[in-house]
Chains A and B, each alone.
Chain A
Amino acid sequence: MSTATRSLPRTIGAHAILLTYTAIALFPVILVIMNSFKSRAGIFSEPLTPPTPKTFDLIGYTTVIGQGDFIHYFQNSLVVTVASLFFVLLFGAMAAFALSEYRFRGNTLMGLYLALGIMIPIRLGTVAILQLMVASGLVNTLTALILVYTAQGLPLAVFILSEFMKQVSDDLKNAGRIDGLSEYTIFFRLVLPLVRPSMATVAVFTMIPIWNDLWFPLILAPSEETKTVTLGAQLFLGQFVTNWNAILAALSLAIMPVLTLYVIFSRQLIRGITSGAVK
C-alpha cells in the first residue's frame, strides 16, 4: 500500500522529465517548420509563435522550388536508397541463411569476417574507394554510391538476420526437403516470408544512414546530375546563407519526407529495436 501513496508524485516526476526532454527533442524541428511558413519580418519579430494570417508567407518555398533542382536530387536519393536497400536485404539474407543453416568448414570464420565491418567504418577506406571508382569509371554515377552503401549495410544485415534465421523451425525446412524442394526454393518460399519482420528492422537501420549520408555523395558523386538530397541541401544552404526564408523552407523540405516516413513506420522500427535484435 505504501507504493500506492508514493507512486503518484513519482509518476508526475517521470512525466515532467519526459515531457521536458520531448520538448527539447522536438523544439528545433517545430521551430524550423513553423518559421518556414512566415514572411521575413515574421521570422525575426516573432520567431516563437505559429504563423498568423499577418505573418504567413510562402516566399521561402517558392524561392527554393524555383532555384534548386530539388525534385531531381530527391529522385537520386530515392534511387540510391531503394537500390542499396534491395541489395543489402537480398544479399544479406542469402549470406545469413548460408551461415545459420549449414554447417561447413570456415563457417565461424566467415561470420567473423563479415562482422568485421560492423566495427570498422567503411569511410576509412575512402582514399582507395575513390581510386577504385576512378579506375572503373564510376565516379559521378549513382552506381558508385549504391555499391558503397551495399557494402556498408551488409555486415549489420548479415549479423541481425542470421540471429533471426536461427529461430526458423528446422522441422519446416526439413519437411520442405522431404517434399523435394531445392535449397533455393526453401530459402525464397519458406524462410524469407517468415523473417519478414526482421527484414523491416534491418531495412530501417540501413536506410537512415544512407539517406542522410553526406561523405560519399560529396566525394564520389558531387556532379549536378547525381547530387543526393542531403548534398543538395548542404550546398543550397551554403548558397543562401542570408536568405532566411529560403533556408528554413529548404530545411523543412528536407525534414518532412523523413519525418512522415518515420511517423508511419515508427511502431515497426521501435518494435524491431526492442525485440532484441541488436542487443
Chain B
Amino acid sequence: MAAETRPKRPFRWHIAVFLAPAVLVYTAIMILPLAGTLQLSLFRNIEQHQVFVGLANFRTLFGDPNWSVGFWNALRNNTWFFVIHMVVQNPIGVMLAALLSSPKLRFAAFYRTAIFVPTILSFVIVGFAWKLILSPLWGVAPHLMDLVGLKSLFTPWLGKEQYALTALSLISVWQFVGIPMMLIYAALLSIPEEVIEAAECDGITGMSQFWKIKLPLILPSIGIISILTFVGNFNAFDLIYTAQGALAGPNYSTDILGTFLYRAFFGFQLQTGDPNMGAAIATMMFLIILGGVCVYLFLVQTRLRRYQF
C-alpha cells in the first residue's frame, strides 16, 4: 500500500535485471522462432530465394493430394491417439488416485512410486521395450496370454495396420498414467476433512461419496489434465519415431502430426525436405493446439465451478 501512495520514484533497475535473462532467452529461443516459423510458412524457396507466396503453401497442403492425404491421415490418427488417452489414461488415473487417497491405506507410498516409474523413462526405452515384448519372435506376450487362455487372440499388433495405432496409444497410456494419477491424488488430498466428515454424517460413504462429493471437487483438476493431454498428444513424436520409424509404418497407419512434420521438414528416403512446407504443418499444429487451449480457457474453465475452502 505504502508503495502506491508514494510519488514518482526512480526507475527500479533491479526489476529489469531480475527479468532480463529469462525474458531474453525465452524470447530469442522460443517466441521469435515460433513467430519465424509461422512467417516461414508464407514463403517458398524459388531459385534459392525466399519469396512471399501468401497462403500458397497451405493451398498445397490441403489441395495437392500428395500432401493432403498425408495430412488428413495424420490428423485423424492423432485424434484417435488423443481419444484413447482421454478414455483410457484419465479414468485409470482417477481410479488409481481415488484408491491411493483412501485413508490408512498401507503401502501407498510404494504403489505411488512404482506406478510413476514408466513416466520417468525415455520414449526410446519404452518404445523398444514394448516392441520386444510384443514381438512374436520373443514370445513373451503370447506366452502370457496363454496363461489366461487367450493365446488365440495374439497377433503382432505393431505390425498390423488396423491395430498398430491403438497399440501404440495404449503403450503411451501405460507410460503416462502416472501424471493424471499424481495430479488427481494431490487434488483429492486437498479436500478438507470437514467436507468428508459432513458427508459421512449424512450417511454418504464409499462409492457414492466419491461420485457425489469428491468428483465434483476435483473436476477443475480433470480439466487441466485434459488440456495437458491434448497439448502433449498433438505434439507427440518420439514414441512413434522410436517404435515405427519416421515412416510411421505399417503403411503410414501410425503417422501423427509430429512424424508428418518431421518427414516434411527433413525429407525421408525419396521425399526431399522442405522447410517451408514443414513450417506450414507446424503452423497448422500451432493453430490446432491454440484452438484446444482457447476452448479450454474460455468454454471449459469458466464453467467449472470452483469451491473455496
- Residues of A near any B CB (own CB < 8 A): 3, 6, 10-11, 14-15, 17-19, 21-22, 24-26, 28-29, 31-32, 43-44, 47-48, 87, 90-92, 94-95, 97-99, 102-104, 110, 114, 116-117, 119-129, 131-132, 147-148, 150-152, 154-155, 158, 182-184, 187, 208, 211-215, 219, 230, 233-234, 237, 244, 247-248, 251, 254-255, 258-259, 262-263, 266-267, 270, 273-276, 278-279
With A47-B139, A274-B182 as contacts: A150 and B25 at CB distance below 8 Å? yes
Pick from B132, B187, B227, B293: contact of A32, CB below 8 A: B132
| B117 near A14: Cβ-Cβ < 8 Å | no
Binds A, one of B60-68, B71-79, B80-88, B106-114: B106-114
A contact residues around B163 at 8 Å (CB): none
- Residues of B near any A CB (own CB < 8 A): 3-4, 12, 14-15, 17-19, 21-23, 25-26, 28-37, 40, 92, 95-96, 99-100, 102, 105-107, 109-126, 128-130, 132-133, 138-140, 143-144, 174, 177-178, 182-183, 185-187, 189-190, 205-206, 221, 224, 227, 231, 235, 237-238, 241-242, 258, 261, 265-266, 275, 278-279, 282, 285-286, 289-290, 293
With A32-B129, A98-B18 as contacts: A119 and B289 at CB distance below 8 Å? yes
With A25-B114, A270-B182 as contacts: A14 and B102 at CB distance below 8 Å? yes
Pick from B21, B96, B138, B224: contact of A18, CB below 8 A: B96
B contact residues around A155 at 8 Å (CB): 26
Distance (Å) between the CB of B26 and the closest chain A CB? 5
A contact residues around B224 at 8 Å (CB): 279
| A147 near B22: Cβ-Cβ < 8 Å | no
Distance (Å) between the CB of B197 and the closest chain A CB? 13
| B115 near A25: Cβ-Cβ < 8 Å | yes
With A98-B19, A120-B289 as contacts: A127 and B187 at CB distance below 8 Å? no
Pick from B22, B32, B132: contact of A95, CB below 8 A: B22
| A237 near B128: Cβ-Cβ < 8 Å | yes
| B99 near A17: Cβ-Cβ < 8 Å | yes
B contact residues around A92 at 8 Å (CB): 22
| A131 near B124: Cβ-Cβ < 8 Å | no
Pick from B34, B96, B122, B206: contact of A212, CB below 8 A: B122
B contact residues around A244 at 8 Å (CB): 132, 138
| B117 near A25: Cβ-Cβ < 8 Å | yes
B contact residues around A274 at 8 Å (CB): 182, 185-186, 189
Known: A102-B12, A184-B17. 13 other contacts (CB 8 A): A18-B115, A29-B117, A99-B19, A126-B261, A131-B36, A131-B275, A132-B36, A147-B29, A151-B25, A208-B119, A212-B124, A270-B113, A274-B186
Interface of A is mostly: helix
B contact residues around A247 at 8 Å (CB): 128, 132
With A6-B206, A28-B129, A125-B34 as contacts: A151 and B29 at CB distance below 8 Å? yes
CA distance A117 to B290 in the complex (A): 11
Across chains A and B, which 5 residue pairs bring their CB atoms closest together, nearest first? A128-B36, A125-B33, A212-B122, A151-B29, A95-B22
With A121-B235, A214-B123 as contacts: A126 and B206 at CB distance below 8 Å? no
A contact residues around B99 at 8 Å (CB): 14, 17-18
A contact residues around B30 at 8 Å (CB): 117, 122, 125, 151-152, 154
Among B120, B126, B133, B178, find the residue whose CB has the most chain A CB atoms closer than 10 A: B120
With A128-B32, A270-B113 as contacts: A251 and B282 at CB distance below 8 Å? no
Among A92, A131, A214, A254, find the residue whose CB has the most chain B CB atoms closer than 10 A: A214
Pick from A31, A99, A120: contact of B290, CB below 8 A: A120
Nearest residue, chain A, Cβ from B95: A17
B contact residues around A48 at 8 Å (CB): 140, 143-144
